[in-house]
Structure 1
Amino acid sequence: MQVIWPDKTKSSAHSNEGYTLNILLTIGLILIIGYTAGWAFDKMGLPRIIGYIATGILFSPNTFDFVPADIMERTFPLMEVCLAFITFEVGGALRWSKVKKHEKEIISITMMASMVPLFLVAGGVLGIGLVFPSSLPFDTTALLMLALLLGAVAIPTEPAATFAVMHQYKAKGKVSDTILGVAALDDVLGVLMFSLTITVIFFFAGGEAGLFGNPALNGLYEIVIAILIGIVVALFIDPIAKFFKVEGEGQWVVIIFSLIIFCVGLAKAIHADLLLATMTMGIVVVNKSGNQKVIFEIIERYTEDLIFLFFFLLSGMQLNISTIPQATLLIVLFVILRTVAKFLGAGLGAKIVSAKPAIQKYTAGGLLPQGGIVIGLVLSIYQQDTFTAISDLLLAVIMGAVVIHELLGPVAAKYSLIKAGEIDPEKTEIS
């Protein structure tokens, strides 16, 4: 059956078909160009995903009119599914037997690498605004809101970018395990702290927020329900495989794809956190499923060249770099403060528990990327009247910072893992 998308400017079925084919042709061209760019970056000794993201930014309708404006809306569900597969595999890397070896390090680093950015970024922005009022022309209340919100969104790490680097260069070791554990946990902590920050702001400024009229309860609901969804769906994998007597790889592909997409859809339907739901699913599968080996072998075969290509191309297309000039100084300030804070926090957290020197020195390098989660957090409050004075600037800062973090973060992750001895430098040389 052929699906014909409606065209508001033309009424004939023939015109609609051409419009649909044009979008498909555009997607096909961007995929080819993106894959070629990734190949070229790999040959230069750089992570492939930088080429994917750069291609997405270049051919975004936010940058040029090369592609139809509604292509992002149409492909957004695909991006969510791709992210689900990546976070499922990130969760699958958190095997309890490995995590337990670094339990103290992961918890301590997560706390310090979250709290130090929160206070340093918030304090830095507030200080700049008070000392140089012309740079941030807001009243004290709006300035305080901006500082607190930027501090909160400085916490989360986008695990997909760092995981893609690890996957490309086959990185394994204590630093890699620690980075994945911290990246998973600080996303949860980031959502919680953002919700608590909104609660504080609404307490003093007035207003309502969230599904329950309370943003803290809303954030808690999203996290708890997401974890429950991930656990329940993961526990169904083995019984389903047994019932259908799944043996062939093709059958496993159907089961895995169906349940991961179902997990995403269910989480979305009841307003739970998609990232946490699929990550929890991966954690439960790798630790509880009797079929975990075949499941993750199949996922890995399709991850690097297909899922990563789709996800980072589409992520790049979502970024609106036209907003960056409006907030250049604040973007630079945010990126510098967050980077310094991540290194200080991760190093301090590792030192508190006397972690090995490599963990103390190189974990922070894998905690710099940021992506969809922080944009989503900001967009969740963008239309609320309480934040009208700062919402445009806040979104511009986050968009600009995400572009920088997504492009430079993989390079920092690769460098850190090379220095930690978990990537063979010979595999990254220009060929």
Structure 2
Amino acid sequence: MPPTLSALFILGILLASGMGVGWLAHRFKLPTLTGYLAAGVGINYFAHYIGVEHESLETLRLPINDFAMALALFVLGGQFKRRTGGSHSSEQPATMIRASLTESLFTFTIVGLLCTVAMHNIKGGILLGVLAIAVAPATTLEVLHEYGAKGRATRTLKTLTALSNVWAIFAFELVILLFIAITGASNIGLSGPIWDATGSVIYGLIAGHLLILFQERLGAGNYVVPLLVVILLTIGFCELTDVPHMLAFLATGAVVANRSSFFGHITGAMEGYAKPAFVLFFVLSGSHLQFDVMIDNWLVVGLYVLGRVIGKILGTHVGFNGFKSTPKLASAKNPPIGLGLLCQAGAAIALAGYVSRYNQELSETLLAIILGSVVVFELIGPLLVKRVVISAGEVDVGHLLSRSQYSTSSSSWFKAIKRTLFATQNIIPSDPNKVFVRDIMKPSTSALRRNDSMDKILYFANHSPFNHFPVVDRENMLLGIIVLKDLSEVAYDQQIANVITAEDVISLSTEQASISAGSRLSDALALFQDFDGNTVAVVEDSATPVMCGMLERTEVINLARRFQTKASH
């Protein structure tokens, strides 16, 4: 039997598996978090063979789940910032609240009725209707962040996700309160649900103001430690007083966003530590998916999934547009926002778990159904979030390409290993004046032809390791360079994309973005000082610009620094 592994070793295994399977998912044009979930599913089934105990996974899952949820809810809380004019009518607070309440009411009603009939249990059906309102904040945010989505639909998704969880929590506490008042079956009394909601908000308001104080007086420009202190202490206080912390972090984010200028700096600094936390969260969530539970409760789970899908899509559409039209999946002007609200995991599971304080048997039944439905929503939800923001034209083309910044062919892996194991200093001339562009460029004859269609441009971009794409004529003479970020302006307009050619979308002329192969290292440095991009084309001669390769800024700068280091010694 394999030895029991330490917690740090297990965390390393979880991160490594998530990173590897996430990369594989990206290669197949799936959200990377789908890969993280798949990695978790694999670890769950093979844990015993690699020495990972299921109890260890569960011990790690709870604190990591709390921490990742806190980060996501803090960011979503910032969506409640007051906006002064200029916003679209659909983004006005009254419109958002009306649409969110309508969506929540539709979802609650449809799911509640279907599940009540299937379960023959009014309490269970009503609570499942409430749980269906909740949306997974971490999953939704991670997909939007991965694809760099920006725009009205993205902001709407974030706001509706935050509001859905607010309504779910308040509705949950209200339903529990009514059940206690009617049946008197709980020893906790009426004060329990009331304190859950009000206590969570109070903690959040206090935490928000403490974060502002810590950041202003003790932060000294560090936007990481104060937030971590506040998050960990708030989770601790909530656990000590038996208060759910979801509303607390929404309130914390709202306070910081509205009462200070720190919110943008704090969320910007999250990138370094939030990413590994989210990877661990999704891998551990994948290990918690229970396919056997879904099969055992297939009827109720199926009705719950069906009712929630209908309620989210139809309710959101009616909330924004009334009954005058029907939602259209392919619409770019009015994307089906409800499809982006289907992710569900931690929030609903947590609420179902809280039911055990009032009715243990009912809580176990609800958890079985929610865990079964989470298998569906966590696997298809991220794909639908991606579909919504793409249909709205809010994702740059570069984020849709399956290739990474560097080539992932077997030869490129071999070269990377070779560079890692063997030093390259000896192949570089000792005199910088003897280094020419032809010595450090990446030889390439691959280029777009002037009459290539948009489909060919996107195919080329998807297989290029660069973000600048050369366009040549029949004689391989360089005509100019297409910049990746500029493709987004035309790729989403189907009418223009159908008639446009590579020559039409050239962004940089030959003079702006090329250098001759015979130029020296100093010439390349001078070019990149005034050039915004990371790569330029290399031509045989400026008079006859025949394309012969590509030159990267990093190669030039690293080589120049190496010579500078040698000279200083």
TM superposition score normalised by structure 1: 0.82
Over 3 Å counting, the alpha-carbon distance change for 1:209 and 1:169 in structure 2 is: farther
Structure 2 residue aligned with 1:231: 205
For residues 130-178 of structure 1, give each alpha carbon's deviation from its aligned partner in whole angstroms, at most 9, with x where no partner exists: xxxxxx5x5xxxx222322221211111121111111111111111111
Q: 1: distance between equivalents of 2:219 and 2:294?
A: 54
Over 3 Å counting, the alpha-carbon distance change for 1:93 and 1:375 in structure 2 is: same
Structure 1 residue aligned with 2:53: 68
Structure 2 residue aligned with 1:253: 224
Q: 2: distance between equivalents of 1:96 and 1:351?
A: 24
Q: 2: distance between equivalents of 1:245 and 1:26?
A: 33
SS of the equivalent of 1:65 reads: helix
The aligned amino acid for 2:55 is: D
Structure 2 residue aligned with 1:411: 383
Deviates most, 88-97 or 354-363: 354-363
The aligned amino acid for 2:48 is: D
Structure 2 residue aligned with 1:112: 102
1:175/1:359 contact within 8 Å kept: no
Max Rg structure: 2
Is 1:56–2:27 an aligned residue pair? no
Name which of 346, 351, 370 aligns with 1:377.
Answer: 351
Structure 2 residue aligned with 1:103: 93
Deviates most, 358-367 or 71-80: 358-367
Q: 1: distance between equivalents of 2:294 and 2:312?
A: 23
Q: 2: distance between equivalents of 1:158 and 1:428?
A: 23
1:52/1:316 contact within 8 Å kept: yes
1:418/1:425 contact within 8 Å kept: no
Structure 2 residue aligned with 1:89: 75
Structure 2 residue aligned with 1:281: 252
Over 3 Å counting, the alpha-carbon distance change for 1:175 and 1:105 in structure 2 is: farther
SS of the equivalent of 2:224 reads: helix
Deviates most, 274-283 or 231-240: 231-240
For residues 319-354 of structure 1, give each alpha carbon's deviation from its aligned partner in whole angstroms, at most 9, with x where no partner exists: 333322211122112101110111110000011499
SS of the equivalent of 1:411 reads: helix
Q: 1: distance between equivalents of 2:357 and 2:194?
A: 22
1:117/1:338 contact within 8 Å kept: yes
For residues 393-419 of structure 1, give each alpha carbon's deviation from its aligned partner in whole angstroms, at most 9, with x where no partner exists: 432211011121111111111001111
Structure 1 residue aligned with 2:419: none
Task: Provide the aligned C-alpha RMSD in A.
Answer: 2.9
Over 3 Å counting, the alpha-carbon distance change for 1:81 and 1:359 in structure 2 is: farther
Q: 1: distance between equivalents of 2:270 and 2:401?
A: 27
1:202/1:208 contact within 8 Å kept: yes
2:98/2:319 contact within 8 Å kept: yes
Structure 1 residue aligned with 2:170: 192
Is 1:331–2:301 an aligned residue pair? yes
Q: 2: distance between equivalents of 1:392 and 1:232?
A: 34
The aligned amino acid for 1:253 is: V
SS of the equivalent of 2:71 reads: helix
For residues 232-276 of structure 1, give each alpha carbon's deviation from its aligned partner in whole angstroms, at most 9, with x where no partner exists: 2222234334433613xxx43222221222222222222333122
SS of the equivalent of 1:96 reads: coil
SS of the equivalent of 2:339 reads: helix
Question: Once the 2 structures are TM-superposed, how far is the Cα of residue 222 of structure 1 from its aligned partner?
Answer: 2.0
SS of the equivalent of 2:238 reads: helix
Aligned sequence identity (%): 26
Question: Once the 2 structures are TM-superposed, how far is the Cα of residue 223 of structure 1 from its aligned partner?
Answer: 2.3
Q: 2: distance between equivalents of 1:329 and 1:277?
A: 35
For residues 164-216 of structure 1, give each alpha carbon's deviation from its aligned partner in whole angstroms, at most 9, with x where no partner exists: 11111111111111111111122121122223333444455551164xx12xx
Greater helix content: 1
Is 1:151–2:129 an aligned residue pair? yes
Question: Once the 2 structures are TM-superposed, how far is the Cα of residue 358 of structure 1 from its aligned partner?
Answer: 6.3
Deviates most, 176-185 or 374-383: 374-383
The aligned amino acid for 2:351 is: L
Name which of 262, 266, 269 aligns with 1:298.
Answer: 269
Structure 2 residue aligned with 1:269: 240
Deviates most, 255-264 or 346-355: 346-355
The aligned amino acid for 1:287 is: N
Question: Once the 2 structures are TM-superposed, how far is the Cα of residue 306 of structure 1 from its aligned partner?
Answer: 1.4
2:100/2:160 contact within 8 Å kept: yes
Over 3 Å counting, the alpha-carbon distance change for 1:241 and 1:103 in structure 2 is: closer
Name which of 368, 379, 384 aligns with 2:342.
Answer: 368
Q: 1: distance between equivalents of 2:241 and 2:184?
A: 27
2:111/2:125 contact within 8 Å kept: yes
Over 3 Å counting, the alpha-carbon distance change for 1:26 and 1:299 in structure 2 is: closer
Greater strand content: 2
2:203/2:248 contact within 8 Å kept: yes
Bigger relative CO (Cα 8 Å, ≥ 6 apart): 1
Question: Once the 2 structures are TM-superposed, how far is the Cα of residue 29 of structure 1 from its aligned partner?
Answer: 1.6
Structure-to-structure mapping, 1:15-30, within 5 angstroms: 19=4, 21-30=5-14
Q: 1: distance between equivalents of 2:102 and 2:347?
A: 20
The aligned amino acid for 1:54 is: A
Q: 2: distance between equivalents of 1:402 and 1:209?
A: 31
1:86/1:307 contact within 8 Å kept: no
Listed as ranges, the gaps of 5+ residues in structure 1 are 1-14, 130-135
Aligned residue pairs total: 391
1:154/1:338 contact within 8 Å kept: yes
Over 3 Å counting, the alpha-carbon distance change for 1:178 and 1:218 in structure 2 is: farther
Structure 1 residue aligned with 2:408: none
2:149/2:394 contact within 8 Å kept: yes
The aligned amino acid for 1:91 is: G
Structure 2 residue aligned with 1:315: 285
For residues 340-371 of structure 1, give each alpha carbon's deviation from its aligned partner in whole angstroms, at most 9, with x where no partner exists: 11111000001149999868542212211111
Over 3 Å counting, the alpha-carbon distance change for 1:242 and 1:194 in structure 2 is: closer
